[in-house]
Amino acid sequence: MTVPDGPSFVPTGNDRRIDLTFDDNRLLPLLFGEHEQHLSRIEKKLGVTLVSRGNVLTIAGPADSADAARAALDTLWDRLKAGMGVGAAEVDAALRMATAVDVSLREAALSALADPKAGLRTKRRAIVPRSPTQAKYLDALSQYELVFGLGPAGTGKTYLAVAQAVSLLIAGQVDRIILSRPAVEAGERLGFLPGDMKEKVDPYLRPLYDALHDMLPGDQVTKRLENGVIEVAPLAFMRGRTLSNAFVILDEAQNTTPMQMKMFLTRLGEGSRMAITGDITQIDLPSGQKSGLKDAIRILNGVEGVGFVSFTEADVVRHPLVGRIVRAYDADVKAGPEGA
């Protein structure tokens, strides 16, 4: 993609015009999207105007927004040239990265999105970050032995931790994966659910199973669960164990007590790594009970070998409505009781 010669344009105020030309007309429909929906998505997000004329696309708008649109389009074009797909999710990812404040993080994240060799390798797919914070999180997971991923639902905290675990298992850098969650009741009593203990707690662990099946063929997930290479268990089952040469993940950690959190953290054995994920705004513990996650953040801040990565609603990578829902609830909390 290059900037062609064309009519002179003198910006007024903070406005900018950028003309881009593309060298492969066959890929343009994939870049623009059906009925140019990808272009519309970029216009709506950045407040720019995009006009296509043949293989030339003109970007017009505020300078920062025009530059971000160009960066996003450059990245999406590079994906297509490399034989990779571009859908709504990729457009949204490119936009999140192109508008990141941290320039170095922005450039690294955009580069990874367009590089077919980048990201974590699993049996079913390569997983690349879809926001600058996700890129920072993956870097922390590879750098630190203990990482806290903090923030709202839909930001990929647990999914990326599982991806890192699966990638290391495939590479032979860990011998097993252990996934755990506290089985805290949120409106229902475990005792009233049918079945034995495993059947009672499995619903709480379902998101972890879903992530595994997204990264490994179903038969491999089943085999590894049966032979103990992958273990999915409620937090209570961790007591008294030492977990060596393993990648250990504690999900929904905001629902641990301080005693449970200390117990879990001290399970870390030789050659192991841990990821702790949670959202301190979604605590389901009984009223008055302190969260072990909040306690651990306070106590372990600054401890060598421990990394903290905080996500915000801007990092939500699920349906766009999820991000708006998170922002609405955050605004309601800040407004005080009853929205006053």
Residues 194 and 186: their CA atoms lie apart, in Å, by: 17
Q: b/e string for 34-58 if b means 16 or more Cβ within 10 A?
A: eeeebbebbbebbebebeeeeeebb
Show pLDDT as tens, one digit a residue, over the chain (340 residues).
444 444 444 455 678 899 999 999 999 999 999 999 999 999 999 999 999 998 999 999 999 999 999 999 999 999 999 898 899 989 999 999 999 887 877 888 888 888 877 778 788 777 888 888 998 999 999 999 999 999 998 899 999 999 999 999 999 999 999 999 887 644 444 455 555 555 656 676 777 888 899 999 999 999 999 999 999 888 888 888 888 999 999 999 999 999 999 999 999 999 999 999 999 998 988 888 899 999 999 999 999 999 999 998 888 876 667 767 877 887 787 776 665 5
Give pTM, 2 decimals. 0.78
Cα gap 267→335, rounded to integer Å: 41
Q: How many helices (H) and strands (E) does the chain have?
A: 12, 11
Q: How many CB atoms lie within 10 A of CB 26?
A: 8
Q: 260, 235 in Cβ contact below 8 A?
A: yes
Residue tagged 């709504």 (tokens): 88
As a whole number of Å, the end-to-end CA separation of the chain is 51
**Beta carbons of 149 and 161 less than 8 angstroms apart:** yes
How far apart CA 84 and CA 78 sit, in angstroms, is 9
Q: Which of 114, 11, 110, 20 is nearest to 63 (CA)?
A: 11
Domains of the chain, each with CATH number or no CATH: 15-114 (3.30.1370.10), 123-339 (3.40.50.300)
> Where in 197-305 does DSSP place strands (E)?
230-234, 246-250, 273-278
> DSSP class of residue 91?
H
Whether the Cβ atoms of residue 314 and residue 154 lie closer than 8 Å to each other: no
Cβ pair 179, 162 in contact under 8 A: yes
Give the whole-angstrom CA distance, residue 183 versus residue 323.
26
The Cα–Cα gap between 318 and 144 comes to 27
pLDDT of residue 12: 56
Distance from C-alpha of 130 to C-alpha of 56, rounded to nearest angstrom: 27
- Max Cα distance, the chain (Å): 74
Residue 24 contacts residue 81 (beta carbons within 8 Å): yes
Question: What is the per-residue pLDDT for 9?
Answer: 45
